[in-house]
Amino acid sequence: MTTDKLLKAPPDMNDLIADTKLWAIGKGIYEYSNYIKQFEKFEEEVGELKHEIELLKTNHAEADKHKIASEAGDVIVTLINTLHFLDLDLPDCLQIAYDKISKRTGNMIDGKFVKVKLVGDE
């Protein structure tokens, strides 16, 4: 994947979020569901994404990038719906997370970034 592709956010991300919310309204999700049910759906979708990613480890030939992308999208949709019930928006949450992680120090250990824990860290 090129750096340009990694750094370029789709220009219509806010439109996609709005379309997702309109879809949820049309399906009655915001009227008849709640954050608990939507979080359960989020967990289900994370499991489906995990399954598709696990195929990369066990049998790369069976891995389907389109299925992975589709499941990742389902995770985002269910996260948007869960956040709706908590009166939170995805871009705001992402900004808060970025503001927090951008100040972190740490090291890569076994393929994962491990932050240095400071007094008062969450």
Whether pLDDT at 119 is above 80: no
Amino acid 31: pLDDT: 98
Residue from 14, 1, 3, 4 nearest 92 by CA: 14
> What are the tens digits of pLDDT across the range 88-112?
999 999 999 999 989 888 888 898 8
For residue 58, the model assigns a pLDDT of 80
Please state, in angstroms and rounded to a whole number, the distance separating the CA atoms of residues 122 and 120: 6
d(CA 28, CA 34): 11
Global pTM value: 0.81
pLDDT at 1 over 60: no
Residue 4 has what pLDDT? 67
Other CB atoms within 10 Å distance of the CB of residue 85: 16
Please list, in sequence order, all residues whose beta carbon lies within 8 angstroms of the beta carbon of residue 68, skipping any fewer than 6 positions away.
49, 52, 53
Q: Is the pLDDT higher at 102 or at 6?
A: 102
Domain limits, the chain: 10-115
Distance separating alpha carbons of residues 33 and 63, to the nearest angstrom:
33
Half-sphere exposure of 84 (CA within 13 A, CB side): 23
Q: What top-level class would CATH report for the domain 10-115? A: mainly alpha
- The number of C-alpha atoms within 13 Å of 39 and in the hemisphere containing its C-beta is 6
Condensed to tens digits (0 to 9), the pLDDT of residues 38-92 reads 999 999 999 999 999 988 888 776 668 889 999 999 999 999 999 999 999 999 9
